[in-house]
Structure 1
Amino acid sequence: MRPVNIVSGEGFKSLIQCLEPAYSLPRRETVMHAVKSKYTTTKQTLQTKIENCKALSLTTDIWTSNQMESYMTVTAHFISNNWLLHSFVLETKELGVSHTAANIGERLSEVMADFRIPAEKRVAIVHDNAANIVLCAEQLSRNPSWGKVQGVRCTGHTLQLCINVALKKDPVCRVVAAARRLVGHFKKSAKATVALADKQKQQNVVEHKLIQDVSTRWNSTQCMLERLLEQRWPVTAVLSDPNTTQRSDRDLDLTAVQWRIAEDIVSVLKPMVTLTELLSQDDNVSLSATLPMLINMKRRHLLLREDDGAAATAMKNTLREEIDKRWELNGELQTSIYIKAAVLDPRFKSLSFMEEEKRDEAYTTVFELAESLTPAEEPAQRPLDEDDNEPMPLQKKRKQDEISMLMGTDEEQQAEEQNSEMER
């Protein structure tokens, strides 16, 4: 993780001379030659894998480094002949030109040409909700040289936008702001941090540090509030201690009403964390699971209950509205790429999350798609790994209830039907 020219630095030379006087440092040109050689070999291996795959999807993102330089990363995702899911970063390169849809499309075309990826293999481009990349995907979908590629908005980023709307409404936003100030006080004060550790020991509370959230990641806000609730009484004890906290800082503690609202926020967002994790795994397909999980989330977790507080009710209503709007759940879903994928996924192909009259149309769409394909060579079966039948790790078991809710598999009859079908 150091720059290559470190081998030319006098300090580094002195260090190596001290550690091993007999060692001769390679020149910068030698190191660069080795790096380029490794890159060329790796690229050739990857090109061979891509040539052998049936279809390929892309993920692209434009981001800014700490030096305020813009970079564009392009990642390829495909399934090999032995049914293993692969993800490879094709390129991370500085994007010095204006971030217009045309320039982004040109860069993507350059990457496709560089790795010799034909148009017929390009299935989808996953991207965030920025207007320029959305327009780029739309333009490429109409470009004959890009085949039948489709633009797919990143579920994680879209979910972030939905939750941001809910977090910005009163009184939720004020509670989050108050919690942020409270955590900031402990992060800035070494005296308060030491006192918190002492109170944790006295009250026999698990010794965890408070978490400061990051505005661009909603799950960090959920983690901040959850940790704060866990440490509520040690935190309150420190703030009320005149030997530790100045009078001007004692009002940083949340009120009883704010603590209750914080509990509501955590309870509403908790399954959202599990949903995001499930849909963000590199080794698991997520397109087919997106709509089933979102609809199950809406119908069950986001369903209003009698014991919901005002904040929880407002958050649930907002989240349902945002999910409906951003995924167009009130429109014609039967022909969407999400439903096509769900039909082909053994976990969801019964389409139990859809209205019965719409299922037949969804099946017909996929049936017609299958008929339009030329007969393909039967793919090789993936050999079972030795650890395929090992018991589920403990940390996964703890989330099983949330996963069952999202998957809709905790209804006994449906689970039995799916299990028997998979066994057959």
Structure 2
Amino acid sequence: MCGLQHVRCLAHVFNLTVHKGLKNETVSNLLKKVRRIVGFFHRSSTAAARLAAIATALGMKPLRLIQDVDTRWNSTFDMLERFAGQRTAVDATMKLRDLKIKEPPLTEDDGEFIDQLIKLLEPFKTAATVLCGEKYLTVSLIFNYKKLLTLHVTAHDLDSETISRVKAAMLAAMICKHVELFLVECSLVDPRFRDIQFITDQNITDALAAIKNKMSTIALRMGLMRQTAVTQEEAKATADDSDQPPQLNVLNDEEQSDDNNNYKEQEPAIVVEDTPEADNDKKPTSALGRLFDVFITKEESSAADKVKLELNCYLKESRAKLKGNPIDW
């Protein structure tokens, strides 16, 4: 109703995408194994202490294992990443007989599969973290991150059969109803991403046309606002003048007689017709007039011309650094 564009939270879309991929049967079984092992070390303070001691002895930094939560974004990635980093200490601790650990240790194939999942999920963790920022612009990042992650979850020949299935499920979940044109506009007006490579020429053409229309609309509104303000000022000045009584010039008899005599003695006025040559000879006498008369007497450019000039100047500027703030730019 107000002309505002609704954009769905892409970080939430990414979280749902990851959950779709993790529903794969092979992935689900592996996650159950990891959760049981992590849960054992969380329940047993003795096992957690032995794990920390073994990690220190192996020259590793002892870190507490992380248990994932369904409602917490990226928690499964955090669990797998921490488990992979502490796996050597975990395997050594699970071999201790006095702890009576019933859970079987993971196999080498399980370890390799965990590494593949970490590599697959890491970009989603990075994108969600960046898009949840509150001190910088994020709407111009949506189109770019969506395209990058779409390429990331596209299956390749080197992927295993299970990873290919996981990617296919994630790719299907990423097809959301985002307004692509609006997101391309946001990317183009961000000096960091206006020449990004995966924006097609047709996207750029359509987005630039939409941007020009919006800029023209804003320029026209600003012009109407300025015109309204000037009209109100003129009306106020007219009202102030009308409130004052007219000043009458009353002459006494002697002043009126002198004025009549002066009028009679005046020579007849010479009337000069206005000609084009006479208009050209007229020059401003004030300093401000001599400086600015040539500019203010020119016909003002249309809003479309100003928008085109402004947009072309922007597109010719060098791209801003990725770490920079587009607002400061």
TM-score for both structures, normalised by structure 2: 0.64
Structure 2 residue runs without a partner (length 5+): 226-316
Paired with 1:418 and 1:150, the residues of 2 have a C-alpha distance of 26
- Counterpart for residue 73 of structure 1: none
Shift, 1:419, TM fit: 5.0
Q: Which residue of 2 aligns with 1:221?
A: 76
Alpha-carbon deviation of 1:285? 0.9
Q: Alpha-carbon deviation of 1:303?
A: 4.3
Q: Report the CA distance between 1:259 and its aligned residue.
A: 1.7
User: Which structure's residues are more often strand, by fraction?
Assistant: 1
| 1:282-301 mapped onto 2 (5 Å cutoff) | 282-299=134-151, 301=152
Higher helix share: 2
2:107 aligned with 1:262: no
Instruction: Pick the structure with greater CA Rg.
Output: 2
1:200 and 2:55 correspond: yes
- Residues 21-67 of structure 1: per-residue CA shift (max 9 Å, x gap): xxxxxxxxxxxxxxxxxxxxxxxxxxxxxxxxxxxxxxxxxxxxxxx
How many Å separate the matches in 2 of 1:250 and 1:288?
47
Aligned residues: 229
2: distance between equivalents of 1:255 and 1:218?
A: 27
Instruction: Give the deviation of 1:215 after TM superposition.
Output: 0.9
Contact 1:212–1:220, Cα closer than 8 Å, also in 2: yes
In the TM superposition, what is the alpha-carbon distance from 1:151 to its structure 2 partner? 2.6
Q: Which runs of 5+ in 1 are unaligned?
A: 1-140, 142-146, 378-415
Task: Name the structure 1 match of 2:319.
Answer: 418
Alignment match of 2:193 (pick from 323, 348, 367): 348
In the TM superposition, residue 267 of structure 1 has moved relative to its aligned partner by 0.7
CA contact (8 A) 2:184 2:204 kept: no
Q: 2:34 aligns with which of 152, 165, 179?
A: 179
1:361 corresponds to 2:262? no
Q: Alpha carbons of 1:257 and 1:171: their partners in 2 closer, same or farther (altered >3 Å)?
A: same
Provide the C-alpha distance between the structure 2 equivalents of 1:288 and 1:266, rounded to a whole number of angstroms.
27
Q: Which residue of 2 aligns with 1:91?
A: none
**Residues 313 and 218 of structure 1, relative CA distance in 2, 3 Å threshold:** farther
The CA distance in 1 between the partners of 2:97 and 2:113, in whole Å, is 27
User: Is residue 149 from structure 1 mapped to residue 4 from structure 2 by the alignment?
Assistant: yes
1:170 to 15, 25, 28: 25
Distance 1:258 1:227, change over 3 A: same
Q: Which structure exhibits the higher relative contact order, with contacts defined as CA atoms closer than 8 Å and separated by 6 or more residues?
A: 2
Q: Which residue is equivalent to 2:176?
A: 326
Letter of the 1:313 counterpart: S
Counterpart pick for 2:168 among 313, 317, 325: 317
Q: TM-score, normalised by structure 1?
A: 0.50
Displacement of 1:212 in angstroms is 0.9
Deviation (angstroms), 1:357: 2.4
Secondary structure of the corresponding residue to residue 25 of structure 2: coil
What secondary structure does 2:97 align onto?
A: coil
Query: 1:244 offset after TM fit, Å?
Result: 1.8
> Is contact 1:264-1:311 (8 Å) kept?
no
AA in 2 matched with 1:371: S
Counterpart-to-counterpart distance in 2, 1:168 and 1:310:
15
Alignment-derived partner of residue 125 in structure 1: none
* Structure 2 Cα separation of the partners of residues 266 and 177 of structure 1: 16
d(CA) in 1 for partners of 2:318 and 2:169?
Answer: 35
Aligned to 1:339: 184
Q: Which residue of 2 aligns with 1:13?
A: none
Structure-2 separation of matches of 1:175 and 1:284 = 38
